[in-house]
Chains A and B, each alone.
Chain A
Amino acid sequence: MTDHDLTAPQGLRAVTLGVLRRLFVRLLGALAVLIGAATVAFAALQLVPGDPVTVMLGPGSAATPEVKAEIRATYGLDQPVAVQYLHYLGRLLTGDLGESYQLQRPVAGLIADQLGSTVQLALAALVLAVVLALVAATATAGRRPALRGVSSLLELLAVSSPSYWIGILLLTAFSFQLRIFPVAGDQDLSALVLPAVTLALPLTGVLTQVLREGLETTLGQPFVLTARSRGLAPAAVLLRHALRHTTGPVATLTGWLTGSLLGGAVLVETVFGRPGIGALSLQGAVNKDMPLVIGLVLLSALVFVLISTLVDLLHVAADPRLRSR
């Protein structure tokens, strides 16, 4: 016992060091990912054919060549691409995302303004999807064939329906006909319900399928039989043992899906007329607003990095086998 007591602080220090080193490597990796994302976005936008200012103004613009030249000079588009890139990276390192060409406002400010409602929407959708998936999967895994069949069918429908279409269906039913929820916007909680459900449904479908699959595989393993032989009820086995085994893949999947929520937000925010990052991305892409697009690419890269770190930590927490090293 004394032996153990002596080694404990040393072990703790080793663990802390390990975590710190891991964190440092992670941070470096994140930085590389961000610079890479910025570079790829910059390069992709350079590949758009045509003069950037003409493209930005769109066909049939009445802008004279002088106005175009002025726009070009203001944003430094008349300089060589390499110079533009270095300038861009330089500003980026000081945390300056630049100014939107079209909206004439700082990109950082624009994103900060719009981020709140998207985060709210994404979190609501995520929580809803995870809860629904847990309930559906635990209720149907390995038993009640009829219920399982109905659930599978619904999941398939949810996964394969475009969220755009789900949104319009929900709006027609609950807003236009029953008039329970407002059509659109970001005024209060009731306006969040329909967009969150729309965004959550396809997610729920995927999660339920994976979760049930995982549960059923686990239920076939020998330790489940051991647990049952100890006199545990089937429900307890499912909730206390099998569920824990399936959290790994589900956490990974949820992480990945959370990243993809941003893509879903583009459609959902457009249909519901909600402000947010999705609507902003669409506008930036359509208007060929380079600083805005790059800013948004960076944001989503950052979100992916954060989420994958979080998922890693979750794995460690759920699976003791990963803590040994």
Chain B
Amino acid sequence: MPRTGPRPVPLLAALAAGTLLLTGCGSGATGAAPAKSGDQGTPVQGGSLTYATDVEPISFDIHVSQQDVTGAIQRNVFDSLVQQDAKGEFQPWLATKWEIAPDLKSFTFHLREGVKFTDGTPFDAEAVKVNFDRIVAKETKSQYAASLLGPYTGTEVIDPKTVKVNFGEPFAPFLQAASTPYLGFYSPKTIKENGAKLGAGGPADVGTGPFVFSSYTKGQSAVYTKNPDYNWAPAGAAHQGPAYLDKLTVRFLTEDSVRLGALNSGQVQVADPVPPSGVKTVQADSKLKTISTDAPGAVYSLVLNTSKAPLDDPLVRKAVQRGIDVETDVKSIYFGVNKRAWSPVAPTTPYYDKSLENSWAYDKALAEKSLDEAGWTAKDADGYRTKNGQRLTIEWPLPPAEYVREQRDTLGQAIQADLKKIGIEVTRPRLDIGTYIAQVYGGKVHIADYSWARFDPDVLRLYFHSASQPSKGGQNATFYKDAQLDEWTTKGKETFDKTVRQEVYGKTQQRAIELGLIVPLYVRTATVGQSAQVHGLTADPNTWLRFHDAWLGK
């Protein structure tokens, strides 16, 4: 393989590297050494890269799976109609342009010429229809993609290169949904022949992407090889044409220490994720570098159940919100890697409201005052506040260990300790998963805790709209019914007008904090470790890696 020497950098490559750096900054990437000499070299063709990740997909079927990892690694095989850039703007991909009906009930896409699936089938309007219809078909049992299509009513084939997607009600979030791998396209031929087997991975999963899914060994690895005909990378990609790498192997290494050890010893070139405790070590190693991206969407938060006493009292909710020393807790548990959150959504989410920052800092005195005002003035022998002989107790169950990620149980202990200081008792019974779901999503306990990664402010509707009930696949465990929140989040969903969206989403974030519906805790920073010989690897706004532009230098 030809490798980069110290020769003059050709103009094109310099431009490409420039774009790379720009997109890098835009997506919030803070690589340890963003301008390392190698990144400016000419990309090297060929080579084989091994990528270790922690979760193995249950189903590889992008239309069925609800897992992040499925979208992240199958992105190599499946392209989307549009691409969403780091600012949240939509760029052409498999669709060169599109028109949106004024009522936002239909979207017409003009498809790119010359795109074909890796089995030779051309990508056309019929393929779009077959795929979207498959997602909503009952037999598909889609756990996530169908929800992305929302009020979908059907797809019309106008001509082979023009397709119209229809909805029963205004549905602005569709463009964002269409940019995710979950609404990617299988070859209609493979859907017909292997429809039921697509979840099992391997060569049956035929797409249009830069890589072909060559083989899958369950429990070990998935192997992807270059699609030599690929010439339809999204606008904004660092290069057009086929991927540089000949082969991409995804290894599933669950154990953090094993994954990092494999990276350190050069047995894999990319390890994802690097746990917060390991970030400093990786950054200190001159043979390694990191890519960090803040996850978009709803941050990890305490969602307060406003339908259950004593959290039905806004004063008690305020006390919980201000009585937790979020800053200190998050910093000490995540080694300064994950940042504390101020809004229900992460700063990388479009229409994030910056004005919330520092607006509700830790204030123990204020929290205690609120509790006094709420009538919780007496104290019992254990130091907890009481009212009418009742102890101020909040129940916040723990799911079984396999569902606890990112040391959230340890963070929970810090929160318990903080709230004890102001006289609130937090109990954390450990429940089996069946009981846990029934209790937490059924509104029978005081606090639910979760995050919801999606690069779209529409997550605010998922979290705060009164119709977004957890029993129906929604995420509003605040159980709060507020006309204004409903109106704003609906309005945001039904328009592309940036000023309007800025306004309604800003107001929604502020009101959610003001009403004490939620206590945002931390923004997850996804850190990927890579060998210094890997170049051109970037993360998209979803924190997923783009291997199309990656190449291996010396």
Binding site for B on A (CB under 8 A): 48-51, 54-55, 57-67, 70-71, 74, 102-105, 110, 113-114, 117, 168, 171-172, 175-177, 179, 182-186, 269-276, 279-280, 283, 286-288
Contact = CB atoms under 8 A, between A and B. Distances in A.
A183 B265 contact: yes
A186 B143 contact: no
B10 to A, nearest CB: 37
A60 B470 CA distance: 8
A54 B262 CA distance: 36
When A and B form their complex, which 7 residue pairs have the shortest distance between CB atoms, in order from nearest?
A50-B434, A275-B219, A49-B434, A176-B261, A279-B219, A183-B262, A62-B147
Given A63-B66, A110-B218, A175-B261, 12 more contacts: A50-B434, A59-B399, A59-B450, A62-B147, A63-B147, A102-B59, A104-B197, A105-B199, A183-B265, A183-B267, A185-B220, A288-B433
Interface stretch (B88-96, B324-332, B355-363, B436-444): B436-444
Contact of A62 (B143, B219, B262, B267): B143
B220 A59 contact: no
B142, B196, B473: residue with the most chain A Cβ atoms closer than 10 Å: B473
Contacts of A110: 218
Q: Could you tell me the dominant secondary structure of chain B's interface residues?
A: mixed
Contacts of A59: 399, 403, 433, 436-437, 440-441, 450
The size bracket of the interface on B is 35 or more
B219 A269 contact: yes
A296 to B, nearest CB: 13
Given A54-B434, A273-B220, A71 B141 contact: yes
Given A62-B147, A283-B58, A273 B261 contact: no
Given A104-B200, A271-B255, A273-B252, A48 B473 contact: no
Contacts of A172: 257, 261
A183 B253 contact: yes
Contacts of B218: 110, 113-114, 275, 280
Given A65-B472, A103-B58, A273 B257 contact: no
A270 B254 contact: yes
Interface of B: 56, 58-59, 61, 66, 138-139, 141-144, 146-147, 196-197, 199-200, 217-221, 251-255, 257-258, 261-262, 264-265, 267-268, 399, 402-403, 432-438, 440-441, 450, 452, 471-473, 475
Contacts of B252: 273
B433 A55 contact: yes
B116 to A, nearest CB: 28
Contact of B146 (A67, A168, A288): A67
A61 B473 contact: yes
B261 A65 contact: no
B141 A105 contact: no
Given A61-B143, A275-B219, A276-B219, A175 B432 contact: no
Contacts of A286: 402
A176 B257 CA distance: 10
B59 A114 contact: no
B174 to A, nearest CB: 16
A182 B452 contact: no
A64 B472 contact: yes
Contacts of B217: 186, 275
Contact of B138 (A50, A63, A70): A70
19 contacts: A48-B432, A54-B438, A57-B66, A59-B433, A62-B144, A67-B141, A67-B142, A70-B141, A102-B59, A103-B58, A104-B196, A104-B197, A105-B197, A105-B199, A105-B200, A183-B262, A183-B265, A270-B255, A271-B258
Contact of B199 (A60, A104, A113): A104
A64 B434 contact: no
